[in-house]
Structure formats: C-alpha cells, structure tokens
Structure 1
Amino acid sequence: MASSKKNDTKSYGAVADSKVVAPTEQGREVDKKLDQHLNYEFGGPWGVTAMMTGFPMLMYYLWICLQFYDGHIVYPSSLDDVKPFLLRMWGHVRDDATPTPYAFAIYSTFFFYQLLLAFIIPGYKQEGLPVPSLNYKTLIYNCNALGCFYTTIVTVAWLHFSDTFRLTEVIDHFGEIMSVAMIYGFAVSFGMYFITVLRGEQIRMSGNFAYDVFMGAALNPRIGSVDLKMWAEVRIPWVILWMISLAGASKQYDEYGYVTANMWFMVLATFLYLNACCKGEECIPQTWDMFHEKWGFMVIFWNFAGVPFTYCYSIIYMATHDPAKYEFSTLGYVALYATLLTAYYIFDTSMSQKSRFRMQMQGTYKFRWTFPQLPWGTISNPKYIQTAHGNRLLIDGWWKYARKPNYAADLVQSLSWAIVIWNASPIPYFYPVFFVTVLVHRCGRDFERCAIKYGKDWEEYCKVVPYRFIPYVY
C-alpha cells in the first residue's frame, strides 16, 4: 500500500510545478521504433485498395439514392435485375455527375483561391510539437485560417448577391462538382506520393505501392509558408461543407420564400464546426494528425471529397424536398438546438484543453483571443501522469472522464446532423454510422501506439481514466 502511494506521488503532478519536458533516452528509443512501418492497418494492401475503389462508388450510390429515389435505399429486386440496376446507376453517373468544364471551374477556382489566401493573409505563428521523424525539430505554422475564412465569407457574399455566381449552382451541379472533387483527391494523392519518393523524403514505407499511396509518403509537405496537410484539413472540407449549407438555404429561399429551421440548424452546425477549426487553428499542430499521420490518400481524398460531399446529405435532402416531410414541433427544435450547442461546447473546450496542455508542457502556450473563447477552454495547473517516456498524460478537465471526450461530443454532433430530418431518409445517417466506425478504429490505432510508447504508465493511465470516449459506457 505504501509502495502504491509513493508511486502516485511520483507520477502525478501539475504543470505549474514543473519544467518544460522532453523525451527521455528511453522515450527516444521507443519513438524510433514507432517511426517505422510495424504492421499493416486497414486490412493491408487488399483492404486499402478496396477502400480506394469502393468509397467513391459508395459516394455515387448514396447520392443517387438521395437525389433520384426520394432518399430511399434502392437495390436489385432479383438476380435478373442486377444488370439493369447497375446500368441505371451508371446512367445517373454518366448523365448527372460527369465532371464538366463548368464543374472543374467551380471547384478549381475555390481550391486555388483558398491556397492563395493561405499565402497572403497574415496569421498567428504557432510552434508545433517536436517531430520524432525530424530528430525532434519543431515546425512553425502560419495560423491564418480565421482571416481566410472571413475573407471567403465576404467573397462568397459578393459573388452570390451580385449574381456573379449564385450559391444555388452548387446544389444544381452537385454531382458534377463531387466528381471533380474525387479527381482532385486521386490526383493529389498519387502526385504527392511520386513527388515525395522522387525527392527521397518518404518515411515509414511498407514497400507495397497501394498501401503506401493510401497511408502516404510525406509527413510535413509544404509550399513556402503553407503546410499543405494543415491547410487541407480545414480550408477545403469544412469551408465547402459550410458553403453547401448556405447553398441549401438559398435553394429553399428561392423555392419557398423562406428557410426552414432545420436548414438553419445545418447552417449553424457547419458554421460552428468550421469556426472552431479556424479560431483554434493554433491547436491543430499539437495533434497526432500533424506530427505523426502521413499525408496520403486516406487523408487527402477524405478532405477534398469525402467530408464535404458525404456529411452534407441532410442538406441536399432538405434543398430538394418538401419541408413538410421533416418538420419538428417547437419542443423538438429546442431539444435539437440544445443538443447541438451542448455537444459543440464539449467538443470545442475538450480539444482546446488537450492542445493547450501540450503547449503548456512544451512551454509554448500563449493566449490567443479569437471569438468565441469558451469557459473552461484552458485548465489552470492541470493534473497529469508523468511517464518514463518523458511525456505527460492529461487527467484533468474533460479528460478525466474519458480518454477521448472530444470523440463523444463529435459523435453527438454528427448524429444531430442526421436527426435534423428525422426519418425522412436513412441516407444522412451514413455520417454518424460511418463516423462511429472511424472513431472506434482510430481509438484502437491510437491506444495500441500509446501502449507501446508508454508501457506501464499507459496501464496506470487506463486505470485512472477507464473509459475510451463515452464516459460510463465505452
């Protein structure tokens, strides 16, 4: 008993009582092991090949069901109907999702405009975490997403209200633009792979072409001051998704003369998510996505096409269907909005707590005021477990209730995005169902890595924080 107490005294602490930490020699040896290709994930080469070919087909299928079959799941009625069914599906893709020059112009203009803004808009300089792959070098990130976002709002408003480019065009040409987004996803993924290999900058390679394209070859690809991985994570998917919500609202207004409370919900929900990413962009360099995850098809295609063109299904449904099919009672709307705002608060503050804790650990934390700064976004003297690796594991704030509390909040938000049309169509429920699968798998990947990295300290941490991401449930 006395031994246990002594260990607790040694392992637990508060940031204010200690110096900036760095990996120990033992920690560096573990990091060196983790910075190699250890085993195949996602089912290996066959699994990732199936995902690279199957997911675009699934995107087309779900969009066709939503757009042309009143949101119902359609399938062949018999074996004899399989061929005619496939021909009908192909006909919809051919006739309504061909990547036209007009669609290329829309997506490309947006894409390169966001890249231009990333270069020219002033930003907040944030130092990232030490990167083991770069011998613990820290990179400086130009966090200007918020300025780029506000500039985009002004630009889009001028284009829409001047009739230069009305947002409803996004809804009217959704299939075509989605196809272009997929082309960009494939082109950048393969292009980035070949460029990285030709420059000899590849890391953690398996030796299998398909698998390495999927996982990526580059860790921190940059063009000048723009970190492409961080730029693509925020500036492309969430800005497009928010614009799709505005396009849906514009479509409703043109059709009915008003915008439903359900559609306003999606405008608010996508705005909150995008604004959270932009206002807290300095927190992103502290995440696993930046200092460990490579920039491959898994991330690139998802940012360029997957997120904006699958998370929007409730918006597309509402933009093309009678509001009577999904209207709520007043109490229903109150519950829906309250759920969103509560989940958003937990999501925002939990992400902020963890990232700012890491900055406190590193000695790089400086308060950056952006709107809105929510209460409890930063923990004063947070409690932690000191590991033999040298890192510290946060056990305070939201993080004393679960190892991934942000995942639980994120999942509730995704579910609310589907519930907004209730049972009018099952298609929007793809987002939360897919998302919970991703979160469970990501937890497994992350925790397996942490178990290797921290050893017995991870076992102690799991005793202190037993739940993965849903407190008292999972």
Structure 2
Amino acid sequence: MAKTEKDAIAKGGSALNPRTTSYEFLGPPGAFLISVGVPIMTFALYYGCSEETGGCPPTLDLTTISERVQDAVKNPEWWVSLWDKEAATMYAAWYAFCVVAWAILPGDWIEGVQMRTGGRKQYKINAFSTFLLAMGIASGFILRNGPEAFTFIYDKWVGFLTAALAMSVFQALYVYAMSFRSGALLALGGNSGNPIYDWYIGRELNPSVGSLDIKSFNELRPGLILWVLIDLSMVCTQAARRGGWAEVTASMWLVLAFQTWYVADALYNEPAIFTTMDITTDGFGFMLAVGDLVWVPFVYSLQARYLVFEQVELGPYATAGIVAVNLLGYYIFRAANGEKNDFRNGKNPKNLEFFVTKSGSKLLTSGWWGRSRHPNYLGDLVMAFAWSLPTGFNTPITYFYVMYFAVLLIHRQRRDDEACEKKYGEDWEVYKKKVSSRIVPYIY
C-alpha cells in the first residue's frame, strides 16, 4: 500500500475503519467451532476414508470406530505421529518455491478495484507461469526417476496435512497481529473487536509483505497448484502398484484431467479473481488461510486418493458420459463468467439485456445471468459432480465435495444477495423479480 493511502487511513480513522456491528457464521461461537471443526473434519476425511484405516469407510461398526477415536486422542504417541519432519520440510520448501516463483517469474502488474481509500492495489500476474514451472519440474522428475519416486505425498499424507495446517495457523496469527499497525485498511466485516471472530474472519483487508499480497497469493498458488501435484502423486502411486502407466485406470485419469484443467483455467484467468468477494470484501484470516492451504488441496483431492486403493474400472460409455457431464459444467461456468467479465469491462458482444439501478449500476437480465443470479455456481456444481462420478457409487464419502460445495455456494449466494440488497435497496427487489432463480434455473 502506498504511503499516501496509509496516511489517508490514519487521518480517516474510524470513518475508514468502522466497527463491525453484525456477525456472520453465528458470531464468535461459530467462528470458534469452525476454526476447530475444519481441521478435525479434514483429518476425519482421511481416517474415515483411507487405506491405512481399512477402507472408505472402515469396515468397523460405529462403536468400534468411536472406541478407536477415543483411544487415539488419549494417546500422546498418536498426536506425535501427526507431525512428520520430512513432510514439513518439503511443504516449507514448496511454499518457498511459490514465493520465489512469484518474485522472479515475469508477469504484468494490474490494478484491483477501487478501495475505500480511493486507491487501487497492484497485483502481479504470473500464477499460470508458476503452475507451468511446477508441473514441468514435477514431470521431469517423474520421467527421470519413474512413478515410484513421486508417491511420497500419498505415503506422507498426514504429515503434509499437518504442515499445511501449521502454516495456516501461523499466517492467521501473523496477519491478525499485523492488522493493529498504524495505517492498516481493515475489512468492514472483520473489525468487531472480538479477537476470536476477527482472527477467524480476517481483520485486515489486504495484508501484504512488501508488494506481495498475502490473500491473493494464497488463493491461487500454494494450495491450488498443490492440489494438482497431489492428484499427480495419486496417479503415480496407482501406476507403481499396477505395473506402469498403461495400467492406470481411466477413472484416475479422468479425475486428474478434470481437476488439472479446472486449476489451469483458474490460473490462466488470474485477473478475474480480483473482482471476487474474497478479494474485494473479505479480510484475510484463518477462514481463508485454512481454506486455501488445507481444505482445497487435501479435501478436493479425495477422489484421486480414494482411487489409489479402490480402483474403479470404467467402460467406454461411462467414460464418455462422465466427460460429457464435465464439459457441460465447464461450458456453463466459462460462458457465464465470460458474459460477466465482458459486461464489467464495458463490452456487450451478445447485446444482452440489463437493468439500470438508481445508482447507475447495471445488472444483466438476459443470457446466463437472466436464467439465474449465479449461473457460474451452477457450472461449478455440475463439474464437482463429474469429478466424483469416476469413483462409482460404493460410498457417499467421495461425494462429500459436491455436498460441501453446494452448501458453500448457497451460503456465498446469500451473502452476496444481502450485500446487493444493502447496496441497491428497492432496485434489488425489482431485479429479483426479473431474475428469480438464485443458482439452479426454475429450481433454486
């Protein structure tokens, strides 16, 4: 942040950083429960669906599972086993690689949206280059040493998960402490004065180290790219076990292809992230830190990890059908986002209809954005379903991502609608009559 903007914040005082008067996530109790519950759920998804514990879910009755959980948490050795020094070192090296790549790889600098100070933050665009470099190094390593050399992520899963969680907690504590320095621009929703809530939701809007914006960096680089590397490690583990690349199942290749394409697309379209709620509105705290660094790579890759020890064989028709579902979701997602981005940049190549509010803002009312208020979420959900289909229907656990994602997107949609209602007032009610569906046309 420029010195003039820091001075503006210091002079503006409480006017620029007003006290937060309403809570989300049920306030401090909810923030505390989620802060504890998300790590527990992430570990539970491993221990409840893994080769180590006997399957997905383990072939034990609920009483036996409860007894095993109680025995584990009471055993100091189990807690010690969660930490793997070698995995922690590799994770730290991975995070450092992402920082160095951000610093040395070429990339354009673009401006974000206008902030309350009147200024605009500068962001360096090279996430896709970082992704290509990481994939190139990993691919070269695998081709040189064989798939057996890249199974270590699967073998040291818990250690990597613990290391990522430790990084999330550290970053959340760091940015919370730094948010009290003079000249910090706070998030409107993260200045409640309650330390538990503000630490969780994010007190500062754009915490930075020099010109490195911590929030957008974490959103696109360490966790998102690691997600693909994890999937790649799962492919290598299956190849090593089955006797080579030719023996890898079509189901595993589909999961790798779908999720790699999704990540590559997000990174290639990096500038689009700077108009999202995460960047423009939310502060950076434990919620985003644990979401970006832990939840995304270690939960979203559940299907690939499952297919290592439960190898599903797909026929040509099932494979074609699953590909068609994913392509449909991607088409909806990309077409909807393309319409929105064009319109925000003053373009309207499809001559889409729009509604002009009293404030002068324009809201699309035709095309994909005339079918629902969040058609891009619909595309996301269809793709999420396609990513789970290769695992078959032997367990609902591999469909956890779809169910969670639906809840997340509905919550996000409601947050966005509340913000728009405050922003547009009566015009928002008029708009909702024109576009009545929230996500799924004619259903929700």
What code does the residue aligned with 1:173 have? K
Separation in structure 1 between the aligned mates of residue 197 and residue 300 of structure 2, nearest angstrom? 26
Is the Cα contact below 8 Å between 1:286 and 1:358 reproduced in 2?
A: no
Which of 160-169 and 201-210 deviates more? Answer: 160-169
TM-score (norm 1): 0.83
Deviation by residue 1:56-75 (Cα, 9 ceiling, x = unmatched): 11111120111113101678
| Aligned residue runs from structure 1 range 40-51, under 5 A | 40-51=23-34
- CA-CA distance at 1:382 after TM superposition: 4.0
- Could you say if the C-alpha distance between residues 293 and 107 of structure 1 is closer, same or farther in structure 2, counting changes exceeding 3 Å? same
Matched, 1:305 2:294: yes
In 1, Cα distance between equivalents of 2:376 and 2:77: 37
Displacement after TM superposition at 1:193 (Å): 0.6
1:444 to 392, 400, 414: 414
Answering whether residue 420 of structure 2 is matched by residue 435 of structure 1, we say: no
For 2:289 and 2:328, the matched residues in 1 are separated by 30
Q: Is the 8 A contact 1:252 1:319 kept in 2?
A: yes
Work out whether residues 259 and 387 of structure 2, in 8 Å CA contact, stay in contact via their aligned partners in 1: no
Q: Is the 8 A contact 2:88 2:163 kept in 1?
A: yes
**Helix, strand or coil at the partner of 1:388:** coil
Q: Aligned partners of 1:95 and 1:426: how far apart in 2? A: 28
Find the counterpart in structure 1 of residue 8 from structure 2: none
Give the one of 327, 349, 374 matched to 2:335: 349
Q: What are the superposed Cα offsets for residues 382-440 of structure 1, whole Å, 9 maximum, x if unpaired?
A: 43222223322122432111110011111111122222211233222111111111111
| Superimposed CA distance per residue, residues 219-249 of structure 1 (whole angstroms, 9 cap, x where no aligned partner) | 1222333322111111122211111111111
Rounded to whole Å, the distance in 1 between the matches of 2:77 and 2:433 is: 52
CA–CA separation in structure 2 for the residues paired with 1:203 and 1:287 = 14
- Structure possessing the higher relative contact order (Cα contacts under 8 Å, 6 or more residues apart): 1
The alpha-carbon deviation at position 353 of structure 1 amounts to 2.4
Percent same amino acid at aligned positions?
27
Matched, 1:170 2:159: no
CA distance in 1, matches of 2:180, 2:96: 25
| Structure-to-structure mapping, 1:210-225, within 5 angstroms | 210-225=196-211
Check whether the contact 2:105–2:129 (CA below 8 A) recurs between aligned residues: yes
What is the deviation of 1:82? 4.2
Among residues 210, 222, 232, which one is paired with 1:246 in the alignment?
Answer: 232
- Report the more deviating stretch, 174-183 or 328-337: 328-337
**2:194 paired residue among 208, 213, 216:** 208
Contact 1:71–1:426 under 8 Å retained in 2:
no
Between the aligned partners of 1:467 and 1:33, the Cα distance in structure 2 is 35
C-alpha contact 1:97 1:178 (8 A) present in aligned 2: no
Contact between 1:203 and 1:219, CA under 8 Å: does it hold in 2? yes
* Alignment partners' CA distance in 1, 2:254 and 2:211: 36
1:324-375 Cα shifts (integer Å, max 9, x gaps): xx323321111101111121122123223223322328xxxxxxxxxxxxxx
Contact 1:193 1:218 (8 Å CA) reproduced: yes
Amino acid at match of 1:394: L
**Per-residue CA shift, 1:89-125, capped at 9, x if unaligned?**
6769928952222011111111110111111111133
Q: Retained in 1: the 8 A contact 2:187–2:281?
A: no
Residues 1:186 and 1:265: Cα distance change in structure 2 (over 3 Å)? same
Tell me if 1:286 matches 2:239: no
Matched to 1:99, the amino acid is W
Task: Tell whether 2:78 aligns with 1:94.
Answer: yes
Contact in 2 for aligned 1:327/1:421 (Cα 8 Å): no
> Match of 1:148, as an amino acid?
T
1:399 aligns with 2:369: yes
Query: Which segments of 5 or more consecutive residues in structure 2 lack a partner in the other structure?
Result: 1-14
Task: Give the Cα separation in 1 of the matches to 2:75 and 2:326.
Answer: 38
Counterparts of 2:139 and 2:183, CA distance in 1: 44
**2:113 maps to amino acid:** L
Aligned counterpart, 2:143: 161
Which segments of 5 or more consecutive residues in structure 1 lack a partner in the other structure? 1-31, 362-377
3-state secondary structure, aligned to 2:82: coil
Map of 1:112 onto structure 2? 96
Secondary structure of 2:253's aligned partner: helix
Match for 2:106: what amino acid?
Answer: P
Per the alignment, do residues 351 and 226 of structure 1 end up closer, same or farther by CA in structure 2, a change over 3 Å counting? Answer: farther
The answer to whether the aligner puts 1:196 opposite 2:179 as a matched pair is yes
CA contact (8 A) 1:171 1:316 kept: yes
Q: Distance in 1 between matches of 2:400 and 2:144?
A: 36
8 Å Cα contact 1:167-1:250 kept in structure 2: yes
Q: Would you say the 8 A contact 1:188–1:300 is kept in 2?
A: yes
Per the normalisation by structure 2, the TM-score is 0.88
SS of the aligned residue for 2:20 comes to: coil
The residue identity in structure 2 corresponding to 1:264 is: W
The aligned length equals 421
Q: Distance in 1 between matches of 2:228 and 2:428?
A: 39
